[in-house]
Amino acid sequence: MLKKYVFFPVLIVTLVLLADIAVYFVYPDVSALKKAHMKETAFMRYREKQWEKEGVDKKINHKWVPLKKISPYLIKAVIIAEDDKFYRHEGFDFTAMQKAFEEDVKKKKFKAGGSTITQQLAKNLFLSPSKTPTRKLKEAILAWRMERALSKKRIVELYLNAAEWGDGIFGIQAASRHYYKKNASALTAEEAARLASVLPNPIRYKPTGKKRYVRARSKMIYRIMVQRGIVIPEYEEVIHAPEETELAQTEGLIGESDTSGLAPLPGEGQDSMASSLGETATTSGPATLSEIENPIDPSTAAGDAGSQPSPESSVGMAGSRVDNIP
């Protein structure tokens, strides 16, 4: 008799939980995201409720920006840092998930790491930051649906506009204006690496901060960008160098046609790009974030970089256009 009293309540609770998870196979309508973008995400509402509970008078800082107006450096840096296999998987990085699970078992905690960009987007748009198996299942269902309904290019655009980069700072345009006083299109490679480095915990870390985690992780991301040819240091030096020649001309120090003091442009009087970057730029295996010796506890990093870069994520130059992203 006692078993019946226990069995039926457990059965009812189980059925309710399964129904709550199953509804995400049909709701919300993720196909609507092909053209429309959400003005407010689940994470934004979560932050507002948190502030209200704490009695804090704050407002969400968010501004939508199309992908073509985001620095290619930022796009590449985020993919390297958060989901290096993005163009090769269909929503899930099973290797990263396995490593995260093994780490959870070792530490006897459920941290639910190893999420791809698509999974993170699903969580940011529709779910909460709670780290429970139920939420993880809902996230997986939504990620699976989004990969079938949306292009990779659209997923990246939505993610960069929904990601949190600080307490109440959502989207790369708001983050760029807040931390660097510039538009997202003007971000440099180093600024992009720093912004990408804080995504695992944007509340604790700031891209402009001096914490060891930010400095070490951003340097690794930048190093990979150089090795893959996304960043050419010599090109960056020329582009961002002060206008010394113009200053000299205005002071009458050199003639207008005298440009001998200028540093040579990339490709002029220099070796090829491959030789300037070293062997790693030309071989078939440029480094990934996971291949570089990481002084940081791996459990603090969101996602796990792949062993080899994909053709899409590996190809990129300083002047590349985001239109080429699939």
Which of 93 and 55 is assigned the larger pLDDT?
Answer: 55
Can you read off the two tokens belonging to residue 152? Answer: 């990779």
Within-domain flag for 53: yes
* Whole-Å CA distances, 89 to 22, 92, 98, 224: 23, 6, 15, 21
pLDDT of residue 295: 36
Structure confidence at residue 316 as a pLDDT band (50, 70, 90): very low
Please report, for the domain that includes residue 126, its CATH number. Answer: 1.10.3810.10
Note the pLDDT tens digit of each residue in 203-217.
Answer: 999 999 999 999 999
pLDDT of residue 89: 76
Within-domain flag for 276: no
Cα–Cα–Cα angle for 281, 283, 287, rounded to 5 degrees: 65
pLDDT of residue 90: 67
pLDDT of residue 301: 38
* Whole-Å CA distances, 159 to 82, 86, 195, 210, 237: 11, 12, 14, 26, 30
Within-domain flag for 225: yes
pLDDT of residue 240: 60
The amino acid occupying position 202 is P
Which of 8-22, 84-98, 220-234 shows the lowest per-residue confidence on average (mean pLDDT)? 84-98
Structure confidence at residue 114 as a pLDDT band (50, 70, 90): low
Structure confidence at residue 113 as a pLDDT band (50, 70, 90): low
Which of 260 and 37 is assigned the larger pLDDT?
Answer: 37
State the CB neighbour count (10 A cutoff) for residue 199. Answer: 23
Judge whether residue 102 has pLDDT over 90. Answer: no
Within-domain flag for 114: yes
Nearest to residue 224, comparing CAs of 309, 99, 326? Answer: 309
Domain that holds residue 307: 9-252+281-324
Q: What is the mean pLDDT of residues 254-279?
A: 37
Q: What is the mean pLDDT of residues 172-186?
A: 97
At 61, which helix (H) or strand (E)?
strand 61-62
The DSSP-derived string for 137-196 is HHHHHHHHHHHHHS-HHHHHHHHHHH-EEETTEESHHHHHHHHHSS-GGG--HHHHHHHH
Q: Do 146 and 65 meet the contact criterion of CB atoms below 8 Å apart?
A: no
Distance, in Å, from the CA atom of 1 to the CA atom of 6, rounded to the nearest integer, reads: 9
Judge whether residue 285 has pLDDT over 90. Answer: no
Within-domain flag for 111: yes
146-150, 260-264, 291-295: range with highest mean pLDDT: 146-150
- What's the half-sphere exposure (Cβ side, CA atoms, 13 Å) at 305? 28
Q: What is the mean pLDDT of residues 150-175?
A: 96
Partners of 164 in beta bridges: 170
- Count of domains observed in the chain: 1
Within-domain flag for 4: no
Within-domain flag for 257: no
Tell me the pLDDT of the chain averaged across its residues: 74
pLDDT of residue 283: 35
Contacts of 139 (CB under 8 A, 6+ apart): 115, 119, 122, 123, 127
pTM above 0.95, yes or no: no
Within-domain flag for 187: yes
Which residue is it, tokens 């748009």?
Answer: 125
Helix extents (H) in the chain? 2-22, 42-54, 72-82, 94-107, 117-126, 133-149, 152-162, 172-180, 189-197, 212-227, 233-239, 244-250, 273-277, 311-314
